[in-house]
């Protein structure tokens, strides 16, 4: 999972050095995992897709957040949203958060490719004291990131569609038409 950036602690694999291995094969396997991670980090299409996944996760968290009113739940949701968006920015910079979430604001400040104002909105979160202000902050964070990610060169250069998506769409379309023909033959206009 770490080679595919599916783990928040990617640095455990990326930054590690082998001090001891039981066998040369174990050491080689670890080096191969590091090489696979490096290859994924350099793959613009892969990293853009990862950024989209983290943006989507932030949006899903926000959808749940808007129905909450207690400050503790909202602060927790806001921090998760900020983490997901920070990871998305790291992906767009072909890297990862080296200190997990611990130093995310400092790491974001050093990244060259990020939306203007993102750092300020994230830093502001800790000082917000009302449910409405936290919700508004997260809305602006997500909106800012959505606008930024859509203007990325990878968005124009690489299509996010896959053949699997096309197959699923075709299957759904074929089923819909088959259902329509069946009910038309039955004279059931509503269905």
DSSP-assigned letters across all residues of the chain: -TTTT-STTTHHHHT---S--SSHHHHHHHHHHHHHHHHHHH-HHHHHHHHHHHHHHHHHHHHHHTT---HHHHHHHHHHHHHHHHHHHHHHTT---TTTTTTHHHHHHH-SS--TTHHHHHHHGGG--SHHHHHHHHHHHHHHHHHHHHTSHHHHHS----HHHHHHHHHHHHHHHHHHHHHHHHT-S--
Q: pLDDT tier at 111 (50, 70, 90 boundaries)?
A: very high
Q: What integer pLDDT is reported at residue 88 of this predicted model?
A: 95
pTM of structure: 0.77
185, pLDDT greater than 60: yes
Q: Does position 58 have pLDDT exceeding 60, yes or no?
A: yes
Q: 160 pLDDT exceeds 80? A: no
Highest mean pLDDT of the ranges 7-16, 157-166, 170-179: 7-16
Query: What's the mean pLDDT in 103-119?
Result: 89
Q: What percent of the chain has pLDDT over 90?
A: 62
Inform me whether the pLDDT recorded for 150 exceeds 60.
yes
**Mean predicted lDDT score pLDDT of the chain:** 88
């Amino acid at each position: 999972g770490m080679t595919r950036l599916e783990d928040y602690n990617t640095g455990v694999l990326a930054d590690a050095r082998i001090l001891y291995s039981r066998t040369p094969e174990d050491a080689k396997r670890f080096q191969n995992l590091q090489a696979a991670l490096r290859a994924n980090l350099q793959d613009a299409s892969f990293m853009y897709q990862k950024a989209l996944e983290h943006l989507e996760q932030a949006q899903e968290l926000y959808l749940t957040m808007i129905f909450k009113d207690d400050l503790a739940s909202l602060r927790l949701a806001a921090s998760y949203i900020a983490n997901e968006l920070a990871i998305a920015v790291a992906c767009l910079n072909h890297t990862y958060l080296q200190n997990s979430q611990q130093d995310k604001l400092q790491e974001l400040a050093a990244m060259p490719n990020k939306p203007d104002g993102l750092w300020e909105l994230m830093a502001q979160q800790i000082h917000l004291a009302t449910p409405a202000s936290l919700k508004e902050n997260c809305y602006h964070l997500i909106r800012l990131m959505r606008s930024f990610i859509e203007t990325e060169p990878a968005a124009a250069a690489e299509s996010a569609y896959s053949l699997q998506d096309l197959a699923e769409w075709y299957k759904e379309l074929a089923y819909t038409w088959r259902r329509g023909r069946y009910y038309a033959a039955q004279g059931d206009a509503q269905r």
